[in-house]
Structure 1
């Protein structure tokens, strides 16, 4: 029986020793290195890209010219002034002047209506007119709110010429 007890004690001691080896510092460090290695590998392989698409709309700028009037001009021998319309929108202004004034000056008043959803301002006039023609913005409101109409005055200056035609554009931008 003593041999049995000794063998049991030896087995018991051996089993504790084996169990103690699993909690040894080297074993814990090795397990930690392996787990951190796996964590790093999985983090490195996790590649997810995000595509963000967006559209921002602050409103719509829509200006129409509802009327054009000749406010003043230099002396002239004959003058004809008419507008071509498409509904209530002015498409084209035709002015034929015979004058001895050099240069000839006239001021046109454009009635513009803001049909957009944001307030606008008149930034100026298209600069692609010929050098011999002077077109300048005389007066414009600080701001035209949606649904409102306002007058914009433009001065046209031209020296002596026969059969001269030109076109230009008023530039409107969103008011900030």
Structure 2
């Protein structure tokens, strides 16, 4: 389980690098990067800024709920690429502060995420909500940037691989 949580850190780093590419794309094409933050794939979908906020919120909430530790509060008022990168860094710092021992018993712990009307076993919450939700918003952020012409590809999404040689 701890390894799965630390995968969030890798993907958060990837998301930060995607925002760097978005910033460069805007600069090279003569527009403000914040224009991209309002882009969406469909009218009824959340914009890029919200997708990034949801990725971060999901990682923090999952870590918090499964360990019983308080998560940092975010007002989701980020309005610039730098604001979003700061949120990502705050999220990485929080998730990185977790130790494997913090998650002991997570599978069978009854968890009730704040604002939800029900409770779950930790393993059900994590595998059936947290992981799919994290990756849904992560890939949607990637797809928005790709749709907006940012030159990114599959390996930009997958990120650095831990090759042995």
Task: Provide the TM-score with structure 1 as the length reference.
Answer: 0.21
Structure with bigger strand share is: 1
Structure with bigger helix share is: 2
Larger Rg: 1
